[in-house]
Amino acid sequence: MAEDDRGSDLPQRVRGAAPAEPPAQPERTANAGPIAEDDITEWLESAKLPSAAEPSPAGKPSPAEKAGTAVKPSSAARPPAATRTRGRPRTRLAVQVVIVVLVIGTLAVAAVRHFARTPGSGPASSTGARQEAVARNEAAAWVARQVSRDHVVSCDQVMCADLTAHGFPRRDLLVLGPTSPSYPVSSAVVVETAAVRDMFGSSLATAWAPAVLASFGSGPAAITVRVIAPHGAAAYQTLLGTDLADRKNAGAALLHDPAITVSATAGWQLTAGQVDSRLLLALAALARHEPVSIVRFGNTGPRASAGVPLRFVDLTENGRAAHPARAAYVKSVRAYLSTVNTKFRPAEMTDVVLANGQAVLRVEVTAPSPLGVSARR
């Protein structure tokens, strides 16, 4: 009987309890395999959708409220455990994406700033500008001292201003610019700077100004002083060859003059026809009045072309007992050479001490050397 009572009591207790709800099924377990769609896209799309738990906007009742039924919270209002767990790696991925975007943006800004710099804003450009300024000053000083004032010199606007500052006559300058109609064949000399190279390219050096009198600086800052060939490079080379033959003959004649003594170096230079015709004529005339002792010939133009004639001669006493003192000798030579024909009269006579300590009188003619001038006596 007791067993029946327990049995009868059990159904009554069970009948009095509320029916149990079935357990909520998760949408996806944590180890359910790879996600079918892109995590970032799914995350962004899910961020746009309103949550089921969001309240309706103020003043607008939900459909359940319109029906007069109470909305009870349920387990469906909360994301399943698996969904909450999956949101964490998505958040970390989103943070990583933002970091990558920021890094790329920073690098892009740095690149734009680097390539947007003007040519003169970097330290390399400043160094190049300084090097060009030094070369321009050296070239201007050399041209003002060495080039004859009877010749026209072509140059860009900045170079011409520097030449004027060094004393070269403004009237003998031809300013070159972007609107210059043609090659400056009316000039005797052109100062080739970077600006002039931009105007004419390499054709100026190859076709109209093949011979280099002097060169200063290097690389893009290099400045070259060139001889203009008014009839082109081919005609210039032909004329240079004819003049070389004349200079060889005149040099051989000087070697046989008893009033002239030469060093081994000077003798070889005369035989090779390397000496400017004006110097050969001046020395031949001087030998008729004074004994002449030649130490060497040379050029003051750095890195001049090999075929450019040598424009100075170093003279000294020849060691004869009857020869006057050096000061008197130098004075006599200066006086006589100042009276010779203007076509071969020296432009400058200077006392110079050579590297070996020897004192000489340097007799120099201007640049450029004229071609076709007969040096025969």
Q: Tokens representing 26?
A: 């998760």
Burial class (CB in 10 A: 0-12, 13-18, 19+), 241: exposed
Phi, psi of 306 (to 5 degrees): -65, -35
* Structure-model confidence comparison of residues 351 and 77, the more confident one: 351
**Average pLDDT, integer, range 213-238:** 95
pLDDT at 312: 97
- Is the predicted pLDDT of residue 189 greater than 90, yes or no? yes
pLDDT at 72: 46
- Is the predicted pLDDT of residue 111 greater than 60, yes or no? no
Q: How many residues does the chain have?
A: 377
| Most confident region among 81-95, 104-118, 186-200, 319-333 by mean pLDDT | 186-200
Can you list the alpha helix ranges (DSSP code H) found in 256-307?
Answer: 264-271, 277-286
Band the pLDDT of 280: cuts 50, 70, 90: very high
pLDDT at 303: 94
Other CB atoms within 10 Å distance of the CB of residue 143:
23
d(CA 75, CA 23): 9
d(CA 287, CA 293): 10
pLDDT at 224: 97
pLDDT at 179: 81
- pLDDT tens profile 226-254: 999 999 999 999 999 999 999 999 999 99
* Structure-model confidence comparison of residues 48 and 338, the more confident one: 338
Band the pLDDT of 318: cuts 50, 70, 90: low
With pLDDT > 90 as the criterion, what percentage of the chain qualifies?
55
d(CA 65, CA 69): 6
Band the pLDDT of 29: cuts 50, 70, 90: very low
**Average pLDDT, integer, range 103-113:** 62
* Structure-model confidence comparison of residues 137 and 58, the more confident one: 137
In 3D space, the residue among 188, 257, 272 whose CA is nearest the CA of residue 226 turns out to be 188
Q: Tokens representing 119?
A: 């040519």
